[in-house]
């Protein structure tokens, strides 16, 4: 099999410009990185969801910077042709901006192509500072897992006009600051579609319906390896698949074709 070309931000922008959905999955180690690369995934996210998936934590808050560096480096060693985003964990960017920049640099040196930060408002100045220093940034709006306690648990965001307007303003501000991509999590499909269509950059949805520029799922969720009941927005892609790689290929194909997500079955 011929290796895929090295990933670039320009390629992702080309996908978005021609209306081709971007297929994203989380990844935490070199073995799965190779599987996802060979299956044709466009983007891998080394998510701080590793706190739950790999460590058995209740949420993402305990994840440490050194752990994110370790997993990012592991995924990078198994990756060749996939754009690689690394989450900045809780506490790594909420303080002094110089410290946040230094932490982002460490993730880039570990092999990330882009870092992801959660929230709007105060993060805009940080996004601008990172982009000015040559560090691509992905924002994250809607339900932001690092704010789970402030948000009152895993709750749908953007339910009223005030919340929708705040989302719209935050998304525009992040794009203006230079964010090259956004993640929208847990919001009504119609809201996500409306805001995404107003932006010049791709929006990747998770529990945000089909009207955005791509989709992301936690790898272990779509492979039905997560204990307990799967979230409504997840589909088990192992059903009818002969292997893990076949399941990942089906995910990519269904995102690209628009078969996943189905707003009736998976949306809000």
**Among all chains, which residue has been given the structure tokens 């949805």?**
205
Structure tokens at 231: 């979230």
Residue 131 has pLDDT above 70, yes or no: yes
Q: What is the CA radius of gyration of the chain?
A: 17
Q: Do the domain assignments include residue 101?
A: yes
* Model confidence band, residue 1 (pLDDT cutoffs 50, 70, 90): low
Residue 2 has pLDDT above 60, yes or no: no
* Model confidence band, residue 199 (pLDDT cutoffs 50, 70, 90): very high
Q: Do the domain assignments include residue 3?
A: no
Ramachandran bin of 139, using left for φ above 0, alpha for ψ from -120 to 50, beta for the remaining angles = beta
Structure tokens at 261: 């997500």
Which pLDDT does position 228 carry in this prediction? 85
Which pLDDT does position 238 carry in this prediction? 96
- pLDDT tens-digit series, residues 156-181: 999 999 999 999 999 999 999 999 99
Residue 245 has pLDDT above 70, yes or no: yes
The average pLDDT across 74-88 equals 97
Question: What percent of the chain clears pLDDT 70, i.e. is strictly above it?
Answer: 99
Domain count, the chain: 1
Which pLDDT does position 96 carry in this prediction? 95
Q: CATH number, domain at 51?
A: 3.20.20.60
* Model confidence band, residue 229 (pLDDT cutoffs 50, 70, 90): confident
Q: Do the domain assignments include residue 174?
A: yes
The average pLDDT across 32-39 equals 97
Note down the domain range covering 77.
9-266
Q: Do the domain assignments include residue 189?
A: yes
Q: Do the domain assignments include residue 132?
A: yes
Provide CB contacts within 8 A for 46, sequence distance 6+.
26, 27, 28, 68, 71, 72, 75, 84, 85, 86, 87, 112
Q: Do the domain assignments include residue 17?
A: yes
What does pLDDT average to over the chain? 96
Q: Give the span between the Cα atoms of 218 and 267, in whole angstroms.
A: 16
Which pLDDT does position 153 carry in this prediction? 83
Q: Which residues are catalytic?
A: 185
**In contact, 140 and 116? CB cutoff 8 Å:** yes
Candidates 217, 248, 262, 260; CA nearest to 38 is: 248
* Model confidence band, residue 68 (pLDDT cutoffs 50, 70, 90): very high
The average pLDDT across 198-205 equals 98
The average pLDDT across 56-60 equals 95
Q: In the chain, where does DSSP find H-type helix?
A: 9-17, 30-39, 50-53, 65-78, 97-110, 123-132, 161-177, 189-197, 219-222, 244-257, 263-266
Q: What 3-state DSSP class applies to 151?
A: coil
**Among all chains, which residue has been given the structure tokens 């525009």?**
172
Q: Do the domain assignments include residue 197?
A: yes
Residue 97 has pLDDT above 60, yes or no: yes
Q: Do the domain assignments include residue 2?
A: no
């Amino acid at each position: 099999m011929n290796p895929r070309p090295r990933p670039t931000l320009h390629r992702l922008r080309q996908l978005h410009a021609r209306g081709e959905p971007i297929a994203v999955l989380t990844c935490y180690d070199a073995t799965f990185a190779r599987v996802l690369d060979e299956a044709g995934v466009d983007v891998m996210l080394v998510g701080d969801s590793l706190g739950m998936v790999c460590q058995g934590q209740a949420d993402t808050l305990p994840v440490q910077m050194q752990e994110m560096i370790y997993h990012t480096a592991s995924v990078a060693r198994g990756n060749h042709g996939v754009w690689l985003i690394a989450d900045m964990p809780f506490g790594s960017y909420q303080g002094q901006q110089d410290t946040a920049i230094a932490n982002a640099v460490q993730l880039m040196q570990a092999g990330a192509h882009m870092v992801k930060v959660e929230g709007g408002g105060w993060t805009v100045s940080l996004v601008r500072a990172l982009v000015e220093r040559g560090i691509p940034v992905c924002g994250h709006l809607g339900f932001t897992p690092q704010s789970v306690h402030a948000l009152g648990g895993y709750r749908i965001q953007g339910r009223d006009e005030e919340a929708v307007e705040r989302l719209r303003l935050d998304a525009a501000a992040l794009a203006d600051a230079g964010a090259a991509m956004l993640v929208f999590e847990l919001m009504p499909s119609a809201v996500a579609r409306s805001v995404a269509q107003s932006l010049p950059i791709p929006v990747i949805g998770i529990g945000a319906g089909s009207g955005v520029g791509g989709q992301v799922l936690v790898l272990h969720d779509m492979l039905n390896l997560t204990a307990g009941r799967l979230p409504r927005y997840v589909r088990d892609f192992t059903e009818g698949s002969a292997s893990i790689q076949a399941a990942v290929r089906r995910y990519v194909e269904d995102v690209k074709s628009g078969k996943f997500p189905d707003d009736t079955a998976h949306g809000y």
